[in-house]
Amino acid sequence: MFAGMLPFLLGQAIAFGFGKSFDGARFWWGFVGIFLVLAAVEFFNEYFDAKYGGDRIFSGQARAIPKSFFAFGILAVCLGFIVGLYLTIQAGWPVMLFSFFGFLGAYFYVGTPVRWAYRGLGELVIGLCYGPFMVLGSYYVQAETVRFVPFFASLICGMSVFCIAVLNEIPDYHQDMLVGKRNLVVRLGKQKAMVLWKVSLAVLFALLILGVVMKTIPAAAIVAAATLPWVLKSVSVVEKNYDNPKVFLCAVNTMVVTHIVITLSLGLGFLRR
């Protein structure tokens, strides 16, 4: 949940550091709205994963479907819509547009009839929702405009989350395939998915360095490059053990920490502008 809030905080930091735009009430209402959406995502994922058996396929134990989770998810979305409507009145119609895109990602990621995660589009949806949609939406709430700088920063954030999503699915390859979850890893296979992950990592750090060189993002953001040796070590370990889920836990944790460091370094860099 904390990592999911970071793109929102990044958008707020860019708005304050780049244009000195900050409204306390909008910040807290936006914070509540994003929290509700993230809560809805958790409820929907738990409900639909239990319903289709994705998380317990190899456990030998039946999993009761938490039906109340679906109701909680709908409630969270409805409350989030009310918050989005208030912010739309305050800042303008684009807020509702970003909120609508967020809903499409939150519910239809695993929800019927679309089920992005089952069509090979789930990873892209995650990257867009936790990157451009959330960062730009957060920025717009304060600045009431969209500019290239927050868009570029949102690409870095989105690519970081995309890397986590792809890596996280590799150890679940067999159970996802058995329940018909045709995500990118299932469609590509483990080895090609590893190639995709490494290319995505290269693009992530290339964007980070390019942004600093072009002075699009603060120079302080280069601090995130300190995680590169750790990431490269994880790549080396995972390549030799991609059939070992325990190894992947360490690699996924590495990517989560890297995402946190990148997003925080970007946010703090903008705050110091």
CATH of 2-271, one of 1.10.600, 3.90.550, 1.10.3470, 1.10.150: 1.10.600
pLDDT tens for each residue of 42-96: 888 888 877 766 555 444 455 566 678 888 988 998 999 999 999 999 999 999 9
Q: Please, which residues have CB within 8 angstroms of residue 214's CB and are 6 or more apart in sequence?
A: none
Whole-number Å distance between alpha carbons of 119 and 108: 11
Domain ranges of the chain: 2-271
pLDDT value at position 89?
A: 94
Report residue 103 as tokens: 């809903």
Give the percent of the chain with pLDDT over 90.
Answer: 45
The answer, yes or no, to whether the previous bond of 113 is cis (omega within 30 of 0) is: yes
In whole numbers, what is the pLDDT of the chain averaged over residues?
Answer: 86
Q: What is the mean pLDDT of residues 234-243?
A: 78
Burial class of residue 70 in the structure, from the number of CB atoms within 10 Å of its CB (0-12 exposed, 13-18 middle, 19+ buried): middle
Is residue 80 within 8 A of residue 37, CB to CB? The reply is yes
